[in-house]
A and B are shown apart, each in its own frame.
Chain A
Amino acid sequence: MSAPVYLDHAATTPLDPAALEVMQSCFVQEHGNPSSVHRWGQRAEAILEQAREQLASALGCESGEVIFTGGGTESDNLALAGVAFARREQTGATYLLTTPVEHEAVVKTAEHLAEEHGFRLEFLSVDAYGQVNPDELRARICKNTAVVSVIYGNNEIGTLNRLAELGAVCREFGVPFHSDAVQAASQLPIRVDDLQVDLLSIGAHKFYGPKGVGALYIRNGTPLRPLLRGGSQEGGLRPGTQNVPLIAGMGAALQSTTLQLAQQAEHFRGLRDRIIDQVRDRLPDARLTGHLVERLPNHASFVIPGVESNALLAALDLAGFACSAGSACKTGEPEPSRVLTAIGQPQDLALGSLRVTVGRSTTADQVESFLQALPQVVGRLRSPVSSLQ
């Protein structure tokens, strides 16, 4: 077997060298607490604020509109719950509007708010690609809507939502608009004015930064209550001493990503389209999930009849290819995917999903060897073993 090939960049990405470099120097040389008065604290604060500038520059916002969190999940939690509580207090709004194709971090938070805190949760319908139509949003939104949350690039099926159109509707009604851009941030522009969002979640490890750190963009004037109680860090919205090295690494990684955005997206799209094209050619019964064109540049996803995802992923891993089913589950539980069910895939097909996501280091040769192996692996899984009773 030649060297294993990593085709799971939607799960996580390797570390950008620039991020590693700045983190190393932080870990070794800068132990200060950014809230301290003395020079150690001042240096740490400067590092923190530099990272905030780097993020603000990628987001096209003021640095004061960016707060650091413990990752994409925390950003989603804070955005939804923080705005929901604040809006209810200020305006009495109690409706939450989101979609059935959100990441768990959004769905579970929304469900928690509904079940434990008396909010009313409603789901916007999506089409067969997982997209929300702005007219659907317009028909469902009202002044009593506390917050709208629609995912940007879907982690499982790759589909992009037209955030600017949806954001415009929210703005008409004066309702804060949040988007989970955790997948999109590694490969698409995330300038918040272009996307017309009021809140945007990102997580560093998806864009070649470290794990365990993320950020939330909060447009000036958007009401938000903190979820944690403690000190006044991050404007009191996210108490707790900031993780300076990881935040510095995130800043460097996002800067690096932004600089090579156009070039990388082209690289990704070439590989992605080759995968989509060839998988459908070599496995004629495989179906692409999500939108063919309006999808994450690095993301190809399929359902393959007659195979079960966990077996397929294990067999591919043994053949030297790291892929995913869309939402990782190592316990081997064959549950049909909520997202695939929401876009109308039949249950038996929803068990056989495959997600292939390329990255900066993925080569055309690696993709070719994957395309050769996949039909063999699927064929072996499908062929019954003879005469086992």
Chain B
Amino acid sequence: MSGGVDSSVAAALLVEQGQPAFGIMLRLWSAGPELPNRCCSPRDMAMARRVANQLGIPFYVLDVRERFHAQVVQFFVDGYAQGTTPNPCMECNRSIRWQTLLEHALGLGATHLATGHYARVEQGQGGFHLLRAADRAKDQSYVLSVLGQVQLSHALLPLGNLTKPEVRAAARRLNLPVADRPESQDLCFVGGADYRTFLETQAGVQPLPGPILDEGGQRIGTHTGLSGYTIGQRKGIGISAQHPLYVLEKNPARNTLLVGPRQALRRTRFLVKRVTWVSGPPSNPLRALVQVRYRAAPVPACIENGTNSEEAAVTLEQPLHDVTPGQAAVFYDGDECLGGGIIQA
């Protein structure tokens, strides 16, 4: 329970169903005492307690600051240092929410862990299936693609069949004090700062200016530090050219930024690592939909396992412009999430 509307309503719905529930709040690391983690500031903690109290359920705090820093924040910092665009929320689901938190909940005697995620879990043939949320605009199956059968067998996602407006309406109907709390946007641990500022001030990643190169290897400008750029970015490069220029590649070893026209971003084939499957490895090769960002549209592709089961090659039927190293490629069969992996450079 984070004190936000989603986890509060998820808890309330369980209580309404008569489930014997208790609440846990994760205490996560943040950039500094003056900048509390957005997910667990003192105000959020007070709000979560208030909701639990109103629901009449016990409430406990689990301090995972150290582990969160080691597993999630460091992952984020390292990713940028290597020139990729990591997805820390997915890593948090992998190693904090559905591992540390789940273990803790089971240790306290729980049978299931319920969260306010927008996705659905169904038990059917061959085990548990992870499905997209009824509210496609809020669907979070992308970040839950790292879950396996053990996690899903303990997972309850009470919001999976609801839309966000329905969740807010439920909060009002249940008189929860969180009904109108604003949507969270930025990374929870950067403490209100821009992620670039965070990398500079907290992670000691000093922006080091360097050359901007075109596809021919010509220096055509100077960048302000690689961590400030994302693959596919157009705005903010600061070079006027005949055709709009896009960030194609970041080379941390040489501190160079490669830019070029949009068509140079087109990718039809890429490798993924740290591949996980919700229901174990499928047939090989596999025809499936692939989604290369949290908010990207899924496109048809062919996925071939590498020699190592943690690696796979993805071939798209049509090229995409936003295949970004560090982001996850998540595989779907219709609404069902099959698994995913991390896009390699």
Which A residues form the contact surface with B (CB < 8 A)?
A: 310-311, 314-315, 317-319, 330-334, 380-381, 383-389
Contacts and interface: CB of A to CB of B under 8 A. Distances in A.
Contact of A332 (B27, B58, B98): B27
A331 B61 contact: yes
A315 B107 CA distance: 8
Q: Which of B45, B62, B108 is most buried by chain A, counting CB atoms within 10 A of its CB?
A: B108
**Interface bin, chain B:** 20 to 34
Contact of A333 (B63, B94, B148, B151): B63
A330 B61 contact: yes
Given A333-B63, A385-B106, A388-B150, 12 more contacts: A310-B60, A315-B107, A315-B108, A318-B108, A332-B27, A332-B61, A332-B62, A383-B107, A385-B107, A386-B150, A387-B150, A388-B98
A389 B276 CA distance: 10
A73 B27 CA distance: 28
B109 interface: yes
B102 interface: yes
Contacts of B60: 310, 314, 317, 332
Given A310-B60, A331-B45, A334-B63, A380 B103 contact: no
Q: Which of A317, A332, A381, A385 is most buried by chain B, counting CB atoms within 10 A of its CB?
A: A332
Contacts of A311: 62, 104, 107-108
A351 to B, nearest CB: 11
Given A310-B62, A314-B60, A319 B109 contact: yes
Nearest to B99: A388
Contacts of A381: 107-108
B61 A385 contact: no
12 contacts: A318-B108, A319-B109, A332-B27, A332-B63, A333-B63, A380-B109, A385-B103, A386-B150, A387-B150, A388-B103, A388-B150, A389-B94
A385 B108 CA distance: 11
B22 A331 contact: no
A174 B269 CA distance: 86
Contact of B107 (A331, A334, A380, A387): A380
Interface in B129-174: 148, 150-151
Nearest to B94: A389
Interface string B56-76: 001011110000000000000
Contacts of B22: 318
A385 B109 contact: no
Contacts of B62: 310-311, 332
A335 B150 CA distance: 32
Nearest to A382: B107
Contacts of B107: 311, 315, 380-381, 383, 385
Contact of A317 (B58, B63, B98, B103): B58
A280 to B, nearest CB: 23
Interface string B89-108: 00000100011001110111
B103 A318 contact: no
B103 A310 contact: no
Contact of B109 (A315, A330, A389): A315
Interface string B106-118: 1111000000000
A386 B154 CA distance: 13
Contact of B61 (A310, A318, A389): A310
Given A314-B60, A318-B58, A388 B109 contact: no
Q: Which of A331, A386, A387 is most buried by chain B, counting CB atoms within 10 A of its CB?
A: A331
Contacts of B98: 388
Contact of B27 (A315, A333, A380): A333
A279 B136 CA distance: 54
A306 to B, nearest CB: 12
